[in-house]
Amino acid sequence: MSYQTRPVTYAQRGIVAAPHYLAAEAGLDILKAGGSAVDAAIAANSMLQVVFPFVCGLGGDVFAIVWSAAEQKMFALNASGKSAASASIEKYTALGYHETPTFGIHSVTVPGCPDGWDMLHKKFGALPLNRVLEPAIYYAEQGFPVGPELSSALEKTAASGHAHSSWFRNFLPDGAVPHVGALMKLPNLAKTFRALTESGLKDFYTGEIARQTADFFQRENGCITLNDLAEHQSEWVEPLSADYGDLSIYELPPNTHGVTALQMMSMLNLLPSGSDPMDPKTIHLAVEAKKLAFADRDRYITDPAKMTIRAEELLNPEYILQRSKLIHPEHAADSTAPGSLSGDTIYLCAADSQGNMVSLIQSNYMGFGSGVVVDNLGIALQNRGAYFRMDPRHINALEPRKRTMHTLIPSLAVKNGAPAIVFGSMGGDGQPQFHTQVYTNIIRFGANMQEAIDIPRWLHGASRGSSKEHLFVESRFPESTIRQLQRMGHEVIVTESWDSLMGFAQGIIRLPNGVYAGGSDPRAEGAAAGW
């Protein structure tokens, strides 16, 4: 039985897969103009900050893995920001917090996105920045039709009670939530994009934009200062890898939980799966691997400068074997590290005619992030600081100038020394679970990229504000599968048939003849656009 809902996009000269069709179109436009895969990825990312601002923005972080055809080498970028120099458990306690705030000015960490774009563009860009951001600037200035996801997100945030007055001034200037199909403009964001093309992306940290941002934080009694912005530095890092089937899967190292995805796949590499993706055995073993990997994540992963072990130790074959032996083939174990289901992100990927491939992920964290927008600049600020803990004994405890454990993980798979797949998905703590499911669908069950994305997905974790974990499954799973999972001891909750809880996945497979085969998630409003 095939679960595929739309054709695979095959392309020879280039392809972009993104969760909104205008973003895919913007990236393709840049490819046709002579841009590189990185140019296309930045164009698509900037467009998503216009048409999907509830999941990504200049005020968030970005991570990427790039395959350079010229150098026949992989490059990985960590463009996540740190907490402010004045941020500490003592200060937050004095402010009245017993837990790190989920929203508001004190949930904000230094944004890494503009610097990440700058490093990617300087190393791999072919077109000038003003051309790369041109599509996003056009739509932000001239307007774009509001889609169902954005309209719903605006309505929910407006009614949430946590949105700052600056959010309303930026996104709902007339006080009304735009209906689906209404035209929306983001003139302040367009102005900021244009200023960055003129003064350079570093202006976000050391120039006029930085000064206005720091002044805003001061007025709102926030922690981030001009010095905090100026001190930000993104980093080229060495990715981690693990074999799964005949592929070597690459993920980013800490402070991301890329190692968590690799642990899950490494354990499954030692275990027999069921007969197909719907088989309860296939799902059960992956859920049990998730529990073990998340227990390690909660114990060890944070800013690498603060870790007590090397992440590679979690992938040691003997350790993986030891962990896999804890999985009972027929019974669910109690979970030891509840994971949150919240988290809003965009993932996109691109490839060009030269063979360059990009896997890029970018986020505000929860919806519109902190719910705070820098006035007159249109910069929606992330709430990534909400992931810190107020327990000084915890590995991810809040400290000054520290990167929190991060859920953003782009991936790239290699076969016989050549790039084979770029893949990723939004979804917070679901990301390692979605990586495992989609790669399993491809590697073990022979699915193409579109079918691998379309196959019903599951997610194990706790809802926001709860420590009780459940196994959430889309209603397209057979009733017999759901009943057997319950008999195995899983507490199953059935969701909608195509639920955004299961992420918005995008992926590209590079076939042996060099043709690209792309897929885009029907759970979003996206497309895989090629030529």
Active centre residues (catalytic): 345
Rounded CA-CA distance 248/413 in Å is 5
Of 177, 175, 138, which Cα lies nearest the Cα of 54? 177
What tokens does 74 get? 């992989």
For residue 207, how many other CB atoms are within 10 A of its CB? Answer: 17
Of 296, 299, 284, which Cα lies nearest the Cα of 394? 299
Rounded CA-CA distance 427/39 in Å is 25
Rounded CA-CA distance 290/488 in Å is 16
Rounded CA-CA distance 51/186 in Å is 9
Say if CB 41 and CB 343 are below 8 A apart.
Answer: no
Q: How far is CA 265 from CA 5, 73, 94, 375, 483, in A?
A: 26, 23, 43, 44, 25
Rounded CA-CA distance 10/530 in Å is 7
Rounded CA-CA distance 378/367 in Å is 15
Rounded CA-CA distance 220/528 in Å is 41
Helices (H) and strands (E) in the chain, counts: 18, 21
474-482 long-range Cβ contacts below 8 angstroms, 24+ apart: 474/498, 474/499, 474/502, 476/3, 477/278, 478/278, 481/278, 481/279, 481/280, 481/283
Of 83, 87, 63, 84, which Cα lies nearest the Cα of 75? 63
For residue 248, how many other CB atoms are within 10 A of its CB? Answer: 16
What tokens does 347 get? 């993932």
Say if CB 436 and CB 261 are below 8 A apart.
Answer: yes
Strand order in the sheet with 516-520: 9-11, 516-520, 505-510, 418-425, 411-415, 247-251, 240-244
Which residues contact residue 221 at a Cβ distance below 8 angstroms, ignoring those fewer than 6 apart? 105
Rounded CA-CA distance 405/419 in Å is 28
Residue 16, judged by CB atoms within 10 A of its CB (0-12, 13-18, 19+), counts as buried
- Paired with 518 in beta bridges are 9, 508
For 301, list phi and psi in degrees, rounded to 5. Answer: -90, 130
What tokens does 207 get? 């120039």
Task: Give the end-to-end CA distance of the chain in Å, rounded to a whole number.
Answer: 30
